[in-house]
Each structure stands twice: as C-alpha cells, then as structure tokens.
Amino acid sequence: MRSSVLWLACIACSFVIVGLVRRAAVTHGVLDLPNLRSSHRVPTPRGGGLGIAVTTLAALWLLWLTNYVDWRLFSVIALGGGLVAVTGAIDDVKSLSVPVRLAVHLLVAGVSIYQLQWFGTVQVGDQFIELGIFGYALGLVGIVWTLNLFNFADGIDGFAASEAIFITCGWLMLGGPHSSSGTIIAFAGACAGFLMWNWPPAKIFMGDIGSGFLGFVIAVLAIDAAQENPAALFVWLILGSAFFADATVTLIRRIVRGEPIYKAHRSHAYQILARRWNSHRSVTLAVMGLNIVILLPVAWLANSQRSWAAAIAFCTVAALGTLAWSLGAGAEESASIDP
C-alpha cells in the first residue's frame, strides 16, 4: 500500500469521523465546560479522539490483512488500544474512579509487554544490558506513564495531537524500522485529521478516549522499535522530551506537596505559558519549533551515535526539566502565575 494513499485516507477518515462526533456531542450535550482549572473559556464538545482510535484500528486491520503489519503488533494495539479507548470513552461520559482506570491501564500494559515479547535489552555506552524482570517492570511503568502523560498534557488546543505526529513521524524520518512504518503513517494521519478540528481555537477536544489511546500507541511503538534497535527507547524519549520533562517535573512537585495526582490543576509549564501569552496557538507553535529545530537533530545524533544515546537522552530531559521548573511547572498555582 502506497504511503501517500494511506496517509491521505487516514486524514480524511479521521476528519469525517471527528466531524460526526462533534455534531453528536453538541446534540447530546457532551461538552467540556470551563471552570477555574480549565485552559479554555467556552463550552467545547469532547470525544473527538474516537476519530483517531477508529481510523487507526481500521487502517491497522487492513494493513494486517495485506501483510503490511504482523499479528503481534496488530493484536497489541487493537486489543490494548481498544480497551484503553473504551475505558476513556466511559470516563468521558461518566467519570470512573482512579483505581478502576489504573487497574485497566496496568492490565493492558502487562498483557502488551507479554505480547510484544520484549526482553528489556537496552544499549548504554558500548554495553548491551539485559534487564530481565526489571525490564518487564520498566516496560509496564513506561506504558502506564506514557498513557497518562498524554492525558495530563492534553490541556491546550492542538498540543497533544501535534506532539504525537512529531514523535512518530520524527522516528520515521530518522530511519525507523520498515516493519512499523505503515502503522506509524496510519496513526499520524489519524492524528492529523483530528488536528484539523482541534487546531486553536479548538472546535472539539479529544477527551480521555483520545489522549489515553495516543499515549498507549506511542509507548507500544517505542518498545516495538527497541526490539530492533536497543537505543531506540532513548531516541523516542528525546523526541517526546518536551512532554515527558514538563509532566514529570509537575508530577514530582505536586507529589512532594502532598497533592492528589489526579486533582485538576493548571500548573504544567505549557499551561502557565498559555496564560502568560494569552494564546494556545503560540505555545503549540513554540513547542513544535522546539521539536523540529532542537529535539529532532538531537534525536538524530543519539540514533547515529547509539553508544551515547542514553547520555544524550538524560541530558536532554534534564535540560528541559530545568526549563519547565524555571517556568513554574508544578508550583502552587497562586505562585506560578496569576490566572
């Protein structure tokens, strides 16, 4: 299947589905209402992530039927991603408790790691390290964290979808394995179709059905890439470090203060900047610029100098974490910036 045809077909399919979801959400009052913790000011339909999930899964099914994706990767994304999306959809309509969501995420992550048959081999310097059971645990935590990371970072218009497109397409540009290229093109195309509705000012939000699905698919693709390239996890971490650094610093500072992890807040660095600049578009474009001008070349360096990939990833995340900290990520909201 030609890449350009697959890309355009997924964009069109996602765009149409998201439009239908938006109409249904408006009709049935499935709206995200502004409150003191919101970054938007008008009631906005949510649930647009359904377009991303349905388009991606339908494309993967066709790719599997035509032998462009193997059963292992297809089954992990179809079963795990489908369950994550369904859980998110229920949460969008009727809020689920944190323990229930976490239990589903842990179950999906555990089964996915088993299906992917990842043995936890990573490259640090010139050494190839077999992590064993620790690698399984690391993969489990990595999937759950990335899954929730996109939920935390889905707080301003166009942000999460554009980041997902950059991370996955960035990996393709760096020469990622051909075996997953069809999956990445389909997924990125589905995100692009949604982004046309979600670009600032957003006409619809993706909701938990979309944010969880995005995080899960990206985590699975990163682990799958590590099967062929033991330095791949560090490269993917660099590509997504703008998200990882902000969310991690914010989470740590809030935990230290004793705040509930899932309590609604506006203390991420990107949210602080959106209020300071009074613009979602400016922040989304700024992060896109950071990704393309700085993180993509750094990821290329790590991928070409694989013995240094771990050190480069550590330095990149540390630098962006320091930047997020300086912007007030995770600080008490009254101390970070006035609303």
Report whether 218 contacts 293 (CB < 8 A): no
Q: What pLDDT score was predicted for residue 88?
A: 93
The full 3-state SS of the chain, as one line of letters, equals: CCHHHHHHHHHHHHHHHHHHHHHHHHHHCCEECCCCCCCCCCCEEECCHHHHHHHHHHHHHHHHHCCCCCHHHHHHHHHHHHHHHHHHHHHHHCCCCHHHHHHHHHHHHHHHHHHHCCCCEEEECCEEEECCHHHHHHHHHHHHHHHHHHHHHCCCCCHHHHHHHHHHHHHHHCCCCHHHHHHHHHHHHHHHHHHHHHCCCCCCECHHHHHHHHHHHHHHHHHHHHHHCCCHHHHHHHHCHHHHHHHHHHHHHHHHCCCCCCCCCCCCHHHHHHHHHCCHHHHHHHHHHHHHHHHHHHHHHHHHCHHHHHHHHHHHHHHHHHHHHHHCCCCCHHHHCCC
Q: What pLDDT score was predicted for residue 39?
A: 67
115: tokens are: 């299906």
Distance CA 18, CA 193 (A): 8
Q: What pLDDT score was predicted for residue 337?
A: 43
Q: What pLDDT score was predicted for residue 1?
A: 56
Q: What pLDDT score was predicted for residue 37?
A: 59
Q: What pLDDT score was predicted for residue 96?
A: 86
Chunked in runs of 10, what are the mean pLDDT values of the chain (339 residues)? 88 98 90 68 88 97 93 95 95 87 94 84 76 83 92 90 97 82 96 97 94 96 88 94 94 88 84 94 97 98 94 97 95 58
